[in-house]
Chain A
Amino acid sequence: MRQQQQRPGEGPRGALIQARRLSKSYDTPSGPFPALRDVSLQVRAGEFVAVVGKSGSGKSTLINLITGIDRPTAGEILVAGTAVHSLSQEQLAIWRGRSVGVVFQFFQLLPTLTVAENVMLPMDFCGNYPVRERRSRALALLERVGIAEQADKLPSALSGGQQQRAAIARALANDPPVLVADEPTGNLDTQTSDAVLELFAGLAAEGKTVVMVTHERDVQRFISRTVTLADGALVDAPVAEVEHA
């Protein structure tokens, strides 16, 4: 297990992500389905947290609430001091572009853009970086994830591992403090998965906070701690920062 340090922007008691009594239920034809029940969680800056659990345990729901992709039915979610649950869709888009990098299982690179352009896209939407700096920053990020030579290729020309690295570079485009990844290795072979996890670990070591949903069992050597969900609730708390009210 890696050690974490306190970072600027952290909330009370050094938490960058604070989930307070989060609940989420979905309306289904057979009635409300509770996907997440009364979950409280704190993640410090620089932590690399793996969210594990069986299918339907609420893992994806939890990270969707952290990224503002979904809204909680009850409870609060604060990321770097921002009350994500209270933002409008437009505010969420701006906040997400600057504060959270999202990595998907199926990479979700835009197929008509080159790898470098995919990385430049968040900068284009958020305008954090001057136009003339964007490509060089994208190339530096691709260098960082080890695929600089693929910069001008279309995603379809890349292997799965390379596409996921490109997706990670895109998530880092606006230098967000938080990276959220939903089963980023679910579509990769073991060797490539290890490389991607190593990359996340390195980013966490550099100060990024990484929350990753995974089914992989052999991730302990890369992560700070594990959060396990079952039937929408936390089932254990191996590290003291996890609260279950």
Chain B
Amino acid sequence: MHSPRWQKLWRDLWITRGRTAMMVIAIAVSLFGIGTVLSSYAILTREISRNYLGTNPSSATLELDRVDDALVEAVRRRPGIAGVEARRSLVARVQVGPDEWRPLLLFVVPDFNGMRIATFKSVGGAWPPAEGTMLVERTALPMVEAAFGEKVVVKTPNGPRHEVLISGVVHDPGLAPAWQERMGYGYITPATLEWLGESGVLDELKIIVSDGTDDPAAIERTARELAGWLEAQGREVHEIQIPPPLKHPHQSQMVAILLMLLIFSVMALALSAILVATMIAGLMAQQIRQIGVMKAVGAQTRQISGLYVVMILLISAAAIALGAPISVSAGRGFAAAVADLLNIALYSQAIPGWVFGVQAAAGLLVPLLVALGPIARGSRITVREAIQDFGVSQERAGGRGLLGWLSGLDRTLLLALRNTFRRRGRLVLTLGLLAAGGSMFMTGLNVKDAWAQNLADSFANRRYDLEIRLSRPEKVDGLIARIGSLPGVAKVEAWGYAPTALARPGVVDVVRTYPDGGHGSFSLRAGPAETDLVSFPLLAGRWLEPGDSDAVVLNHMVYGLFPDVAVGDMISLSIDDRPSVWRVVGIVREVGSPAAAYVTDKALEQVIGLPGHARSLRIVTGESDPAGRGAVIQSIERALAEADVSVSMVIADSELRTAIGDHIAILIFSLVAMAMLMAIVGVLGLMSTMSTNVAERIREFGVMQTIGGTPNSVLRIVVSEGVLIGLLSWIIALPLSLPLSDLVGTVTGNLAFRTPLPLVVSPMALLLWLAITVAGAAAASIIPAWRASRLTIRETLAHI
């Protein structure tokens, strides 16, 4: 590196260190994005396997009338069964304040030490829990609002209230975090269940199939065969639960987030590649006379291009050295955040070598490939062309034609306008870079707002703020009058509620529900046809009407279970183990809910044969502040307790908002982070372009000063030019951001919640990007223009 040409390379890099640093930072930022995503992807995919698959999740769960040891042993010997265990789960309630309760999902395990299926691990305290005590999942402690060693009041559907000691804490990677689901997870023995007032009988058979553990069809086949055999043995099989095999309940969210991040990171890399091309083109334009001189003293084209190729490689290497280590830390941090979302523990944060390989390849090759064009063009220039280059464009100025009519405009602005359009190739690249950065920035914030809009819409569609699910059907007449008369209660409606499944004649229902009972569940909801408490946007058909006796309206989540269902189809639903046939009259969009089928209350009464009964109450409290609403909930709880009505679950609007908000919080965070990343690369591009523009026109500024231009007029022209480029890019970025926002919103919305996000144009994004481009352009222009304006005429004219 002691030869003059390499000395020149080093010193050129040093002299243009501002621009060199911008190139390094721009590439490093995009490599940081890619590295972060790939690192977290590598960690998460490995750790999900280690965690979720490490629990040995059941292939299927069969709900029976009762399961005993003899049955378990008999099933174990059946063909196609690799493992079997008996369990039970039920929804109880835990008291978190005076007359304030949260759902508590209780898992009943007969043998904690002999567990082989759907296992969980102790992270502290007793193992197994003694009678009258329970273990609590680590993410559920905030939900039960108690700590290890404290007692909580628990009430099961049929039992009295009991104080239960939290004797230990466990980690159950098979469940989504409790804080997201807004419920507690407890683990007890059958003896404790009996102590709580319920029958200690187990009713779930968890099985692992021996073949096709990752094939839902194979699992269903084996589970149905087993169900048939069990029924032949005189057992009642109510339902078969087959969640998506080997897939964590929040895996699709994780994939959505990582996919979105990867898309943005690749876009950022493309953006920084354009930036590199722009900068290299600018650098070569600035050094055109030097290239001419080098050729005049014997340099060949390959020697010149070799210099600039090495320059790019050095810049890329510096960017990799800067971006890769930071991306490792960020990737680990992001993986930890997503691990929280998935409720998995990161046993190792090691990042495999291929992640660094991809980063190095992307960092070295992409900038090099995009820079090859400008390098080849710049290196091929002849000595005559180079020596005769005055830094002033040979291209036709845009002044006389397009801009000629602007003769009344301020001279400075007119000159800036003409300068802007003079190097059209450069202008196109700069505008492309900025517009791409701007559109991605706006896309990030648009999609963020679309999520918020989606949620706001979904809550606007639910015009009640409290749903109370009852443990069993209750007569509603007196109940509605009693609750409706309570202070703070504006309206009460009785709704039917029942878990359901697509029924097939003569076979057991199969549902896709996870063990938590929420993810993948499918329920039937029945309200008054003329209700105004819900109003979902119709995707097809119509909403329910009075007199509908066999009509059903499905929400869009049902597409996940029956992808081909359409309006007009007749479907058979299993309700309380009884099949009933319904005509699909409409499909609605319902964000934040599991799959649901809506029928009229009258129609459901006919099916289940319990007229005047309901399983849930939907209540409008008329209270807007949380404290007031809490007080109303407490008074409702008291009234229901006095009426001896057992409550299964209270779903407050605020809890639901928190739950859904928590589900997408990391998505929103990622979108904003990506928007910022785009903004950084875009502004770096603008800054580098402006400094290149100024640098290559130093001689021109000298000429201007010889004919009466002042340093201030030079400054005004350059800054106006920068601001003009910023404004133009903003105008181009606007329409570009719309299809991009639509695409990202559709992909991520479908992956996360099975519905495309609405196209939302965020005014904040528009204004913010306008401010960033204008301020960035002005800032990017002022420093080089000020430097240029301070040069003497002699210095500018001697500039090589």
Interface residues of A (CB under 8 A from B): 64, 67, 69-70, 89-90, 93-94, 96-98, 101-102, 104, 106, 108-113, 117-118, 120-122, 124-126, 131, 170-171, 173-174
> Can you list, as one digit per residue, whether each of B273-308 has a CB less than 8 Å from chain A (1) or not (0)?
000000000000000011011111111111100000
Q: Which residues of A have CB within 8 Å of B5?
A: 121, 124-125
Contact in complex: A69, B297 (CB < 8 Å): no
B383 sits at the interface (CB 8 A): yes
Contact in complex: A69, B387 (CB < 8 Å): yes
B800 sits at the interface (CB 8 A): yes
If the complex has contacts A113-B4, A113-B8, are A108 and B293 also in contact, measured as CB distance less than 8 A? yes
Contact in complex: B4, A102 (CB < 8 Å): no
Assembly CA distance A113 to B3 (angstroms): 11
If the complex has contacts A104-B387, A118-B4, are A112 and B297 also in contact, measured as CB distance less than 8 A? no
User: Shortest CB–CB separation between residue A138 and chain B, in angstroms?
Assistant: 9
With A104-B387, A120-B3 known, 19 other A-B pairs at CB within 8 A are A69-B387, A90-B301, A90-B302, A93-B298, A96-B296, A104-B293, A108-B292, A108-B800, A109-B800, A110-B294, A112-B11, A117-B4, A121-B8, A121-B297, A124-B4, A124-B5, A125-B294, A125-B297, A125-B299
Q: Which residues of A have CB within 8 Å of B302?
A: 90
B15 sits at the interface (CB 8 A): yes
Contact in complex: A173, B297 (CB < 8 Å): yes
> Which chain B residues numbered 293 to 328 have a C-beta less than 8 Å away from chain A?
293-303
If the complex has contacts A108-B293, A110-B293, are A126 and B387 also in contact, measured as CB distance less than 8 A? no
Assembly CA distance A122 to B4 (angstroms): 9
Assembly CA distance A120 to B299 (angstroms): 12
Q: Which residues of A have CB within 8 Å of B481?
A: none
Q: Which residues of B have CB within 8 Å of A171?
A: 297
B7 sits at the interface (CB 8 A): yes
Q: Which residues of B have CB within 8 Å of A69?
A: 296, 382-384, 387
Partner of B7, one of A67, A90, A117: A117
Best-buried of A97, A98, A109, A170 by chain B (most CB within 10 Å): A97
If the complex has contacts A64-B384, A112-B15, are A125 and B8 also in contact, measured as CB distance less than 8 A? no
If the complex has contacts A69-B383, A113-B7, are A122 and B298 also in contact, measured as CB distance less than 8 A? yes
Pick 10 A–B contacts, CB within 8 A, sort by A.
Answer: A67-B383, A93-B301, A98-B298, A104-B296, A108-B292, A108-B800, A110-B800, A125-B5, A126-B298, A173-B297
User: Shortest CB–CB separation between residue A42 and chain B, in angstroms?
Assistant: 24
Partner of A112, one of B12, B380, B382: B12
List the B residue with the shortest CB-CB distance to A91: B300
Contact in complex: A106, B798 (CB < 8 Å): yes
Q: Which residues of B have CB within 8 Å of A126?
A: 298
Partner of B3, one of A67, A108, A118, A124: A124
Contact in complex: A110, B298 (CB < 8 Å): no
Q: Which residues of B have CB within 8 Å of A104?
A: 293, 296, 387
* Closest 6 pairs between A and B when the two form their complex, measured CB to CB: A97-B298, A112-B11, A122-B297, A117-B4, A121-B4, A125-B299
Interface residues of B (CB under 8 A from A): 3-5, 7-8, 11-12, 15, 289-290, 292-303, 380, 382-384, 387, 798, 800
Q: Which residues of B have CB within 8 Å of A121?
A: 4-5, 8, 294, 297
Contact in complex: A110, B290 (CB < 8 Å): yes
Q: Which residues of B have CB within 8 Å of A102?
A: 296-297
List the A residue with the shortest CB-CB distance to B297: A122
Assembly CA distance A126 to B3 (angstroms): 12
Contact in complex: B387, A110 (CB < 8 Å): no
Assembly CA distance A131 to B289 (angstroms): 26
Q: Which residues of A have CB within 8 Å of B12?
A: 112
Contact in complex: B290, A125 (CB < 8 Å): no
Contact in complex: B298, A111 (CB < 8 Å): no
If the complex has contacts A108-B800, A110-B290, A112-B11, are A67 and B296 also in contact, measured as CB distance less than 8 A? yes
Q: Which residues of B have CB within 8 Å of A173?
A: 297
Contact in complex: B8, A110 (CB < 8 Å): yes
List the A residue with the shortest CB-CB distance to B10: A112
Q: Which residues of B have CB within 8 Å of A124?
A: 3-5
Assembly CA distance A186 to B378 (angstroms): 29
Assembly CA distance A114 to B297 (angstroms): 16
Assembly CA distance A102 to B302 (angstroms): 21
User: Shortest CB–CB separation between residue B9 and chain A, in angstroms?
Assistant: 9
User: Shortest CB–CB separation between residue B233 and chain A, in angstroms?
Assistant: 89
Assembly CA distance A170 to B296 (angstroms): 11
Contact in complex: B289, A93 (CB < 8 Å): no
Q: Which residues of A have CB within 8 Å of B7?
A: 112-113, 117
Contact in complex: B299, A93 (CB < 8 Å): yes
Contact in complex: A113, B11 (CB < 8 Å): yes
Assembly CA distance A94 to B302 (angstroms): 12
Q: Which residues of B have CB within 8 Å of A131?
A: 3
Partner of B298, one of A64, A108, A174: A174
User: Shortest CB–CB separation between residue A196 and chain B, in angstroms?
Assistant: 18
Q: Which residues of B have CB within 8 Å of A122?
A: 297-298
User: Shortest CB–CB separation between residue A118 and chain B, in angstroms?
Assistant: 7
User: Shortest CB–CB separation between residue A13 and chain B, in angstroms?
Assistant: 29
Q: Which residues of A have CB within 8 Å of B296?
A: 67, 69, 96, 102, 104, 108
User: Shortest CB–CB separation between residue A14 and chain B, in angstroms?
Assistant: 27
Assembly CA distance A98 to B297 (angstroms): 8
Assembly CA distance A121 to B11 (angstroms): 14
If the complex has contacts A96-B298, A121-B5, are A89 and B382 also in contact, measured as CB distance less than 8 A? yes
User: Shortest CB–CB separation between residue A65 and chain B, in angstroms?
Assistant: 10
List the A residue with the shortest CB-CB distance to B382: A89
User: Shortest CB–CB separation between residue A107 and chain B, in angstroms?
Assistant: 9
Q: Which residues of B have CB within 8 Å of A117?
A: 4, 7-8
Assembly CA distance A110 to B287 (angstroms): 10
Q: Which residues of B have CB within 8 Å of A111?
A: 800
List the A residue with the shortest CB-CB distance to B13: A112
Contact in complex: B301, A112 (CB < 8 Å): no
Assembly CA distance A49 to B293 (angstroms): 23
User: Shortest CB–CB separation between residue B792 and chain A, in angstroms?
Assistant: 13
If the complex has contacts A111-B800, A112-B8, A121-B5, are A93 and B300 also in contact, measured as CB distance less than 8 A? yes
Assembly CA distance A111 to B4 (angstroms): 12
Q: Which residues of B have CB within 8 Å of A120?
A: 3-4
If the complex has contacts A69-B296, A117-B4, are A89 and B387 also in contact, measured as CB distance less than 8 A? no
Q: Which residues of B have CB within 8 Å of A67?
A: 296, 383
User: Shortest CB–CB separation between residue B490 and chain A, in angstroms?
Assistant: 79
Best-buried of A112, A117, A126 by chain B (most CB within 10 Å): A112
Q: Which residues of A have CB within 8 Å of B3?
A: 120, 124, 131
Q: Which residues of A have CB within 8 Å of B383?
A: 67, 69
